[in-house]
Structure 1
């Protein structure tokens, strides 16, 4: 495995942050090419020994995963500055963002959507056919990156598990709740299987067809409660797409993949056979679709797609950072300045005195109260903007807060009853 000393990498710019590290874009002198660096600082782990164990685990997984549709590991990185040590992995850099960032910025041609689904199925089938198999455990659009030709690169193996490895039990709620299989949400001792990834792929099919994220406004506790009871992303969202070729077939595969019965889900080999048929009907349109995407990305290159989607965190985390940062300021806001929506939520505070056994009903009532607010849609849009602003740095966060102080206050106040409930 190639070693990259600190002096080899230059021009490092942060492009992503996740639960397992920070990712930079930079230039390698020895390779004479652009690379991505994923660092793990000592402060992020309990000890240097645990840190190295985490790095070596991810390196082991990535070394085994050599496939055109899986991110390529180039080597190891180490930098020592005083008592601070920094270690990381050097990977290929892909310039066209993630599947998630792409859908957030443009209308993706159907030919490209079906190519992406097929390539993800191929990449995951490869991982599952290794000996021992690699279970990803966090398959979602933000962990599917796109190279300059818009081919997919599955990434972020921070939560991956090599089947059969002697590791401790999976930390509960490791992963992204919206993409987690129901069996993982009900069993504290659940050990991931290949069927877990297939379920995640089913949710990803819905996300690719709709262009949206599943359950965007649901609290993770509600997802944990309702998914095991059979709730899935809304099929009605896809009804207006039934006239588009191969969408009905994709929906059929999607429903099989997100079955509540893990044994009834297809393998990725079976999925890849199905996606191949879908993709082949669009093969003549691929070149035109890629040209269209290239035209769009040239316009947005210095704006939306600067963050290539190397992120393992849930959607709520960026918003929570802002809320925490403004907590003190929020407490100083005069009562008469609070928006009309806050009054609605103050009335819901008393329901949080109920017994924990009624948690599901309590949370459902709170969420419904939020949705009934006249300011609901505006607040959600504002929250999304806050999350994107956090990614870009402290100065921009400060400017955004000063310019949108009232709307930020709404977000903080609306979530206060629910956050109080979980203390």
Structure 2
């Protein structure tokens, strides 16, 4: 209604203005009474004009407005005003159509979001956000609505907490079709958390591998940042080894499989990516396990492209116990730094001990310094193996794995093997059904005596 009033007002104003403009134009002056060109029927008017001239000597001339000219002017004004009104109406109609179209699209997106919160399956939810993406250098990641995360985590309830890291907590998210995901909620306002958020998205939007965790999407809500990953039901390697179960679910062959999976993930980063990628924070808590104990690398917030790296252009970062000595002392960072961290993880798998443990009231001892004197002694080695797997493996395989671990944690980086060599050394130690090449003989039950 307001729009119609505005259009009518504009038309009346345009018509009045145009008519005034036409009336303001000067008409040609009428000749004096003595003009012989005037027709005879106009003589009385001429005489009256003469008399008026005598009584009004200051009046120079008299104008006569003919009705025919006035009608012509009004007709022209109407045509122009109507044309102007038509143009205005067409423009307003186009504007109104565009507005209705945008409003319809907005309502559709809003309805999709509301349906998702009410329980849309996870696959459909992520599909509905495919048009809204945050771009990385060579990839992109889906933006997920905050209300969807609220509903899926029961408002980030304590019961859904899976773990807690340096920059925030990780929650289990359950969607209507029972699809599960892990939501990492980063602490807001921190520059380090913001940088980790951006780096994580940048790398995981480009890196895709079966032994690297998948990033499903992200969310930005005020100062809070959220990263949504595929859920790994068996948690982290750290929780399996050092949690309540103390590694009881991890057999010797499963531990070798986990080591092989981690080596495959690192080999992809070091050898298949261009430029190569250094994880820089490999540790047991960043190795996640799915329902079949397939291991995947996670937490790429400190990852960096390989190259000419030193303490001058790389800030010292990582976790004590896993950081290579040359990185701590000289700031030198290479792919061999990841190999050192892999060696520490391998020692955890062998011995069931943490990377750093208290040796005295105020001192800690690394697993490397504790184990190195015993790793090369074949008589002592079986005694320091995790009791859960002790006497369950071929001693020849145990010595081989210990030798690989010793090489990986060498103080001198050049003495450490490439991760590709480590990968190939583990393939023969893992059964075929677990992704290796080892053929495990089936155990035959003893025959009953007659």
Give the structure 2 partner of residue 24 of structure 1: 171
Q: Contact conserved, 2:182 with 2:231, CA < 8 A, in 1?
A: yes
The TM-score, its normalising length taken from structure 1, stands at 0.58
Change (3 A) 1:65 1:26: same
> CA offset at residue 234 of structure 1?
5.1
Q: Contact conserved, 1:118 with 1:272, CA < 8 A, in 2?
A: yes
Give the structure 2 partner of residue 333 of structure 1: none
Give the counterpart of 1:157 among 284, 300, 318.
300
Give the structure 1 partner of residue 116 of structure 2: none
User: 1:46-85 alignment to 2 at 5 Å?
Assistant: 46=191, 51-80=193-222, 85=223
> CA offset at residue 215 of structure 1?
3.7
Cα distance in 1 for partners of 2:232, 2:196 equals 24
Give the structure 2 partner of residue 6 of structure 1: 146
The TM-score, its normalising length taken from structure 2, stands at 0.55
Q: Contact conserved, 1:177 with 1:220, CA < 8 A, in 2?
A: no
Give the counterpart of 2:288 among 116, 141, 145.
145
The yes-or-no answer on 1:102 pairing with 2:248 is no
Aligned length: 275
Change (3 A) 1:238 1:63: farther
Instruction: Show structure 1 runs of 5+ residues with no match.
Output: 289-423
Q: Deviations over 1:8-50 (max 9, x none)?
A: 2222422221113321111356x9721111122323x14xxx6
Secondary structure at the aligned position of 2:333 is classed as coil
Give the counterpart of 2:184 among 38, 48, 67.
38
> CA offset at residue 279 of structure 1?
1.2
Q: Deviations over 1:190-219 (max 9, x none)?
A: 142100000111111111011111341158
Secondary structure at the aligned position of 1:139 is classed as coil
Secondary structure at the aligned position of 2:274 is classed as coil
Q: Deviations over 1:286-320 (max 9, x none)?
A: 999xxxxxxxxxxxxxxxxxxxxxxxxxxxxxxxx
Give the structure 1 partner of residue 224 of structure 2: 86
Give the structure 1 partner of residue 408 of structure 2: 257
Cα distance in 2 for partners of 1:206, 1:192 equals 22
Cα distance in 2 for partners of 1:6, 1:287 equals 52
Give the structure 1 partner of residue 355 of structure 2: 214
Q: In angstroms, what is the RMSD of aligned CA positions?
A: 3.4
Cα distance in 1 for partners of 2:326, 2:268 equals 24
Q: Contact conserved, 1:117 with 1:205, CA < 8 A, in 2?
A: yes
User: 1:17-416 alignment to 2 at 5 Å?
Assistant: 17-28=164-175, 33-43=179-189, 45-46=190-191, 51-80=193-222, 85-104=223-242, 105=245, 106-107=247-248, 108-129=250-271, 130-164=273-307, 169-172=313-316, 174-187=317-330, 190-218=331-359, 232=372, 235=375, 238-240=381-383, 244-245=393-394, 246-280=397-431, 283=438
Q: Deviations over 1:316-343 (max 9, x none)?
A: xxxxxxxxxxxxxxxxxxxxxxxxxxxx
> CA offset at residue 239 of structure 1?
3.1
> CA offset at residue 103 of structure 1?
1.9
Higher helix share: 1
Cα distance in 1 for partners of 2:364, 2:351 equals 19
Cα distance in 2 for partners of 1:162, 1:68 equals 20
Change (3 A) 1:143 1:87: same
> CA offset at residue 52 of structure 1?
3.9
Secondary structure at the aligned position of 2:430 is classed as helix
> CA offset at residue 125 of structure 1?
0.5
Cα distance in 1 for partners of 2:366, 2:237 equals 28
Q: Contact conserved, 1:135 with 1:193, CA < 8 A, in 2?
A: yes
Instruction: Show structure 2 runs of 5+ residues with no match.
Output: 1-140, 444-450
> CA offset at residue 185 of structure 1?
2.1
Secondary structure at the aligned position of 1:7 is classed as helix
Secondary structure at the aligned position of 2:144 is classed as strand
Select the structure of larger CA radius of gyration: 2
Cα distance in 2 for partners of 1:150, 1:87 equals 29
Change (3 A) 1:214 1:40: closer
Q: Contact conserved, 2:353 with 2:367, CA < 8 A, in 1?
A: no
Cα distance in 1 for partners of 2:193, 2:356 equals 33
Cα distance in 2 for partners of 1:123, 1:284 equals 24
> CA offset at residue 159 of structure 1?
2.0
